[in-house]
Structure 1
Amino acid sequence: MIASYLKYLWRAGNEHSIHSPFLFELYTRVIRNKKADLPDFTLLKSFRNELLHCTLEIEVRDLGAGSRVNKSNRRKVRDIARNAEKPEKFGKLFYRLVQHFQPATVLELGTSLGLSTLYLAKAAPSGSVYTFEGCPETARYARQNFYKLKVENIEVITGNIDETLPAFLAGTPKPLDFAYFDANHRFEPTVRYFEQCLPHAHNDSVFIFDDIYWSAEMTQAWEQIKKHPSVTLTVDLFWIGLVFFRKEQVKENFVLRF
């Protein structure tokens, strides 16, 4: 990833390299607006610190590419929080994006301990967050966290995402406004999940893909998603990639600093 990151730094622009009025406003007012210190951020930072000090062990069942750091199935919560959860600045970014677009339906593939889920749910209290987790014990622990923080607009769907996602999409009439893909970090499942969700997206939907340079497979998946004819605008922030479907938008791919 070092070579990829150096290449990213060389290519990445800022607001001066953006030609799209839609993206210029989004980048300057939402993506790069890191000054806002909201009450929810204080609450979630305190919760993050609690996870980072939790010595409870849980049994983790990896159905995806697995962890590069911990190969044991028995893992302490603090280790999962340190190695698997997104850093605070990304939680805040997810919050700002959801608050900006105000999606009614949010999909998250890969719940883990539920920290990113909480940022999504807190930003859209009137929306519904459906989060998918393959590991039963991790899902149970995440549910406890949501209950503890009194967040009630989250539904945890447990089981192999290869099975639960198609079943969910087939059974819901709701359009998919916002989706965060952070489950199986391999090429085929990532592209398949994207293509399964695509018929439920609309002109103003937002898809976020995590760890787009985590491996050669993830980068290959990101490149294929960018080329899809339904995708009109993508934003590469190195650690994550944003995808938009705005038909009024000229097809462009941006690499921007975050």
Structure 2
Amino acid sequence: MWYKIKAFITFLLKSTNQHGIHSPFVYNLVTKCFYHKTNIEKVNSFNSVKQWLYKNPKIINVTDFGSGSKVFKSNKRKVSDIAKVAGISSKKGLLLLRMLNYFKPQNILEIGTSVGLSTAVLSIGNPKATINTLEGCTNTAGVAQELFNTFKLKNIQLNIGNFKDTLLPIVTKTKFDLIYFDGNHQKEATLRYFNLCLKTVQNNSIFIFDDINWSKEMQEAWFLIKEHPKVTVTIDTFFWGIVFFRKEQAKQHFKIRV
């Protein structure tokens, strides 16, 4: 907790808004997407899905393949609690909806489905996209699939299994416009997934890393990702690290308050 507080104070001191941005690409992204209004119909759809999960009393046994939870003391967890603690927040969800509307990615990969809240946002944000999502835990994946069926989110393909088995085959055969990394908050795993997903990169590809300031090792992973020669522009929003590979852009790193 204290680590994140310290990291947030540092972020506030070094971050800026649109007035400190000298890149036309990033300036347009901030003013026309980050600080823009979210489509109200999509907001309502997101809230409906969120409430469905928040009111779900089912208790499941969760298998953690990542760094584990700092909140839950047992692997037996109520679905509503998982959604509230580990699900995408309203702030992130609305920003993701705006980014999907702005960039309109057609092929999307999510690493870490959990109970499906962020996956639902991806589907609501662009119903015409093809979405692949990976989940290691069979029981949480079952809840997610029930959610997708309930809300008729038919553009989602759920892949169940350990990421070491499911990630490589999918990035080998498909080029992705957007990849959302939210499956393992450990340095080694994050960098491994990043390097595997570089196979899919095109000029306009976007990677979003969740919780880059979650721990010291996640900050270290983020630093190494920023320095990779294929990476040109990065945006640190504190809760996300957003990566672009646009060859026409000079290499620049931004810290932006959203």
TM-score bucket (shorter structure): over 0.9
Equivalent position of 1:26 in the other structure: 29
State the Cα deviation string for residues 97-129 of structure 1 (Å, max 9, x = none).
Answer: 112111111000000111111111122211101
SS in 2 for 1:231: coil
User: How does the TM-score come out when normalised to structure 1?
Assistant: 0.96
Equivalent position of 2:197 in the other structure: 197
Counterparts of 1:11 and 1:5, CA distance in 2: 10
The answer to whether 1:179 aligns with 2:179 is yes
Among 99, 104, 111, the alignment partner of 1:97 is 99
SS in 1 for 2:94: helix
SS in 2 for 1:150: coil
State the Cα deviation string for residues 3-38 of structure 1 (Å, max 9, x = none).
Answer: 0000001111011111110110001111121x3342
| Aligned residues between the structures | 255
SS in 2 for 1:214: coil
Counterparts of 1:157 and 1:235, CA distance in 2: 29
SS in 2 for 1:65: coil
Equivalent position of 1:206 in the other structure: 206
Counterparts of 1:230 and 1:37, CA distance in 2: 33
The answer to whether 1:124 aligns with 2:126 is yes
Equivalent position of 2:149 in the other structure: 147
**Moved segments of 4+, more than 4 Å:** none
Unaligned 5+ runs, structure 1:
none
Among 36, 42, 45, the alignment partner of 1:43 is 45
Equivalent position of 2:162 in the other structure: 160
**Aligned-residue RMSD, C-alpha:** 1.0
Counterparts of 1:92 and 1:99, CA distance in 2: 11
User: How far did residue 44 of structure 1 move?
Assistant: 1.7
Among 96, 106, 109, the alignment partner of 1:107 is 109
Equivalent position of 2:241 in the other structure: 241
SS in 1 for 2:42: helix
User: How does the TM-score come out when normalised to structure 2?
Assistant: 0.96
Q: Decide which moves more: 155-164 or 45-54.
A: 45-54
Counterparts of 2:111 and 2:103, CA distance in 1: 19
Counterparts of 2:87 and 2:35, CA distance in 1: 21
Equivalent position of 2:222 in the other structure: 222
Among 14, 29, 41, the alignment partner of 1:11 is 14
Counterparts of 1:23 and 1:44, CA distance in 2: 26
> CA contact under 8 A between 2:202 and 2:245: conserved in structure 1?
yes
Equivalent position of 1:55 in the other structure: 57
Q: Which amino acid aligns with 2:79?
A: V
User: How far did residue 154 of structure 1 move?
Assistant: 0.2
The answer to whether 1:78 aligns with 2:80 is yes
Counterparts of 2:237 and 2:243, CA distance in 1: 11
Counterparts of 1:122 and 1:231, CA distance in 2: 28
Equivalent position of 1:257 in the other structure: 257
User: How far did residue 39 of structure 1 move?
Assistant: 1.0
Percent identity between matched residues is 43
Q: Which amino acid aligns with 1:67?
A: S
SS in 1 for 2:77: strand
Q: Which amino acid aligns with 1:65?
A: S
Counterparts of 1:36 and 1:214, CA distance in 2: 27
SS in 1 for 2:65: coil
Unaligned 5+ runs, structure 2:
none
Counterparts of 2:48 and 2:209, CA distance in 1: 26
